[in-house]
A and B are shown apart, each in its own frame.
Chain A
């Protein structure tokens, strides 16, 4: 379970995340929706302890990220698609991360197989397409077989086959009883993948509800999303 309580982060005079509280529960895909710049990535970074909140806190299974004994065995995260050194092979990248958390080397081959990179594992990862980079990120997140997964825009750069693969993977990971927390600005994709949604705009919580509840409010999830975030986007084309 991920619990965010009053999370607040300022960059200078800009409030990126504003007293944000929500839960993401095991056994369901929780979609994290918001317009560009709403604070989704910042929230993810605060949960992982990469950035320090100005107020509030996030807990995973009751503990702050920095207190975890074996972080990769408890939480798998993909924040940026290319969070690896371009000169290192996918295999070496995963082997190094596995070593840090005492994860057996055999698991490296397993996750490479799960994401379909077994044949490309020896190549320098800098040569990977965006879709392959996303798959390497997922492989790293799955290394420790964690109970909590945190993914920031995981379908970016994937082709239609890859998007469907990702959707099925996320749903099956949730069905195994894991917490799956996925950010996106693609409403249609979230409607098909997530059971629950946390919607934010300008760093503030706008809604936390099931997909059905939100869709029922305005006829469709897209309408509901656009109504909720109407005051939260910086620029919008004028339409009659």
Chain B
């Protein structure tokens, strides 16, 4: 019918092609590298600052060394939000969905690419912060090692927190579609709400994302119950945070498939 010269390969576009597109998109934006670099630098900087000022050898030194993760979560969360809302604010979403009309597949590929990158960078941040924090401890305080019970788990799960918050942000972006709105919900939900809940409804505190990462996933010694506040165990925390990410991504995929662009 036409005289087009290139021969289409057989078959159909699949996850591999969509993931490659999303990887090129993610790595070709300056903010990606800036956010990931700042995440690692922040985690390490805070670990060193906390380490230097440690006096109590009985404290959860691993959890202290991972204290910077809670702050850096914001950046990976925003990275997740922008991976979706940046497409809407720029108009790129039209080009993306014209190239790949299967919308849930687009979100799945975005999630996979962002998740793998955030996990790799998050684990690097957690491990470097752990070693840097341990090295910064005063001579009188014995440094924790990865061989001690629970330490390796705390470092690995702490690093995984970045990945799950990034996916949570991606889901929020797909649901809300507007950058400012999605970032307000992310920051409000992850940080501001945590402060308010801690004051007025402490029983909900253990279920807030930032609390799960800081007080469940990255601890070695189970945090003592503070009145009505009983923090989740590390694995329960991982499950709960995964659930949050899965629910927002699922809702985002459902809406993406049904709404007009």
Where the two chains meet, the residues of A that have a C-beta atom closer than 8 Å to any C-beta of B are 1, 26, 45, 48-52, 61, 65-66, 68-75, 77, 79-80, 82-89, 92-93, 95-97, 99-103, 107, 140, 144-147, 176-179
Contacts and interface: CB of A to CB of B under 8 A. Distances in A.
A66 B28 contact: no
B101 A49 contact: yes
Given A71-B101, A88-B25, 16 more contacts: A26-B2, A49-B97, A50-B98, A68-B101, A83-B91, A85-B25, A92-B28, A95-B24, A96-B28, A100-B13, A100-B21, A100-B99, A102-B17, A140-B95, A147-B4, A176-B3
Contacts of A75: 98
Contact of B102 (A66, A144, A146): A66
B101 A65 contact: yes
17 contacts: A1-B1, A45-B261, A48-B94, A50-B97, A80-B91, A83-B92, A86-B90, A87-B31, A92-B25, A93-B28, A96-B22, A99-B17, A99-B21, A100-B96, A140-B95, A146-B4, A177-B2
A68 B8 CA distance: 12
A79 B94 contact: yes
B223 to A, nearest CB: 41
B99 A101 contact: yes
A232 B10 CA distance: 46
Contact of B1 (A48, A107, A144, A177): A177
B87 interface: yes
Contact of B94 (A80, A93, A144, A176): A80
A107 B6 contact: yes
A176 B5 CA distance: 10
Contacts of A93: 28, 95
B29 interface: yes
A73 B8 contact: yes
Nearest to B102: A66
B101 A85 contact: no
A51 B261 contact: yes
B31 A100 contact: no
Contact of A96 (B11, B24, B86): B24
B56 interface: no
Nearest to B19: A99
Given A66-B101, A85-B92, A86-B90, A96 B13 contact: no
A191 B11 CA distance: 40
B13 A83 contact: no
B121 to A, nearest CB: 20
Contacts of A102: 9, 13, 17
B29 A88 contact: yes
Given A77-B98, A85-B29, A92-B28, A145 B91 contact: no
Contact of B260 (A50, A83, A147): A50
Nearest to A84: B92
Contacts, number: 125
B18 interface: yes
A84 B90 contact: yes
Interface in B1-52: 1-6, 8-9, 11-13, 17-18, 20-22, 24-25, 28-31
Contacts of A86: 90
Nearest to A68: B101
A103 B9 CA distance: 9
A96 B98 CA distance: 13
B100 interface: yes
A153 to B, nearest CB: 14
A70 B98 contact: no
Contacts of B95: 83-84, 93, 97, 140
Contacts of B13: 69-71, 100-102
B100 A71 contact: yes
- Counting chain A CB atoms within 10 Å of each CB, the highest count among B3, B87, B95 belongs to B95
A145 B98 contact: no
Contacts of B100: 71, 100
Given A97-B95, A100-B100, A178-B4, A87 B261 contact: no
A152 B99 CA distance: 17
Interface string B66-110: 000000000000000000001100111011111111100000000
